[in-house]
Structures are given as structure tokens and as C-alpha cells.
Amino acid sequence: MALNTTSATPERHILCMKWGTKYGPEYVNRLYAMVRRHLKGDFRFVCLTDNSEGIRSEVECLPIPSLDLPAGIPERGWTKLTTFSADLHGLKGTALFLDVDVVITGPLDEFFTYPGDFLIIHDHKRPWRITGNSSVYRFELGAHPDVLEYFRGHFEEIRKQFRNEQAYLSDFLHKQGKLQYWPAEWCPSFKYHGIPSWPTNYWKEPFVPEGARIVIFHGECNPPDALAGRRNRRFRFIKPARWVAEHWRE
């Protein structure tokens, strides 16, 4: 069983974050279930959230540390930087952060043992850049407080230079020589790697890319959208991705 008590804190933590109304509790509940099926042994599953209603009891819900950002600015994922707090609710050990809208299809154990100080997905769209995709990243809790401290002290400057949190995060840790990437096949993009090319997308179903362990969803298509398919765009037609139902479940 996964542990979620403070009396015995295991070294391995799964972190996710849910705020606002875009994602319901079912995303967290299904993420937990997928992790439980694909990660051997004990772990602590923590959701940083502003609303724990409907989230299953195996998940430990903790408040999202405040960033005190200016009101009304566009949401660019900056809130995720609070995972780098010097003291994140007293959690200690290795943390694997997962976006709530990923779909886990393969073993997770090596995400905790793969060598590297900080590991992240290499951006699929522009692989010539250093930018990582922060749907999946691993780090030691409390090991990179300067990421958040510098952000707090230079927010306006950072906003002008970087479009979102993952661009800032990648640049900051790259300059320190700490940025490394997961093997490319582990975390493919549904959008770029799981949809048959045109025109075969009209008769071939989306598929799980070979070697995939965590399929990431970004842009307009989330797991339920992929499962339903998309028919309103001629060149972006998607047949229902029935494989999603096999994995994205409690």
C-alpha cells in the first residue's frame, strides 16, 4: 500500500498539483491509481491543491505555497515553482512531479533511479532548445531553493524573458549544469507522437508510442478529449483513442 502518514515518511514521493477549476478530482484519483499500478513498493502521494473535495483518501492533500503574484496576470504554470520551496511541508526525499493530465502506460521505478541531479522531458516541439516540458520532472526536495528564491526576487524581469515556468526553470538549472533529460521514448507527446499522420488519421486510431511510460497531453487535447476523438477539424481529425480507457481509470 502507498503510505500517506507523517509517522513514516518514505524516500519516494509522487507530487501533483491541482488548482482552479480546469481539472476535477477524478484527474488526481486516476493519476494515483495509475501510479499504484506501475510503481513497485511504497511511496507517498501528495497533491498540492486549493480544493481537496472528492480526492481519494490515499492521496495526501496539502496547501499550495503562496507565490503572491500580481492579480490578473496570465497563468503560465508559475505556481509549479513552489515545489522548489526550501521546506515543502516538511517533505524529504526524492520527488517525481507529474501533471494531473498525463496517462501512465509503463513502469515508473526507473524514474527514481535514472542518474541525474534534475531530470525533465526535453521539449518535443523544439528539441534544439534546452527547454524542458515540466509535465514530468524529478528532483530532491529542498535541493533547489534558489529556483524559487530568484523567481520571487526577479519576477518582472523573468516574465519579460520567459513565456512560462518550464522555460525559466530549464534555463536556470541549465546555467548551473544540473539540467538533464529523460530518455526520449519514456515520455512521448500524444499530440506529436501518438496520432497517425494525415491522411491515415482518418482510418487509423491513435496509438501508444513504442517505449512510452508516461504519455503527456498538452495543448487543447486532454485524456477525455482523446478518448472521445475529434471530428471538427479537417487536418486534425482524431479517431477515438480507445487505449486511453485501458490506462486512465481508477
Q: Domain 12-181 adopts which CATH fold?
A: Spore Coat Polysaccharide Biosynthesis Protein SpsA; Chain A (3.90.550)
The string over 215-241, giving b where at least 16 C-beta atoms fall within 10 Å of a residue's C-beta and e elsewhere, is bbbbeebbbebbbeebeeeeeebbbeb
The closest alpha carbon to 136, from 118, 121, 156, belongs to 121
Q: CA 2, CA 132: separation in Å to the nearest integer?
A: 29
If you average pLDDT over residues 188-200, what whole number do you get?
A: 94
If you average pLDDT over residues 163-181, what whole number do you get? 96
CA distance linking residue 49 with residue 213, whole number of Å: 25
pLDDT(60) > 70 = yes
> How much of the chain, in percent, has pLDDT values that exceed 70?
94
User: Is the model's pLDDT at 233 over the cut of 90?
Assistant: no
DSSP element (H, E) containing 91: none
> At 126, is the pLDDT very low, low, confident or very high (cuts 50, 70, 90)?
confident
pLDDT at 10 over 70: no
Q: Tens digits of per-residue pLDDT, 140-160?
A: 999 999 999 999 999 999 999
Domain boundaries defined on the chain: 12-181
What is the arithmetic mean of pLDDT over 168-183? 97
Is 7's pLDDT higher than 60?
no
Q: How many CB atoms lie within 10 A of CB 39?
A: 20
What average pLDDT score do residues 114-119 get? Answer: 97
| Helix ranges (DSSP H) in the chain | 25-38, 145-153, 155-161, 165-175, 190-193, 223-228, 243-247
pLDDT above 90 coverage of the chain, percent: 83
Average pLDDT over all residues of the chain = 92
pLDDT for 127 equals 78
Taking 80 as the threshold, does the pLDDT of residue 2 lie above it?
A: no
Which pTM does this prediction carry?
A: 0.93
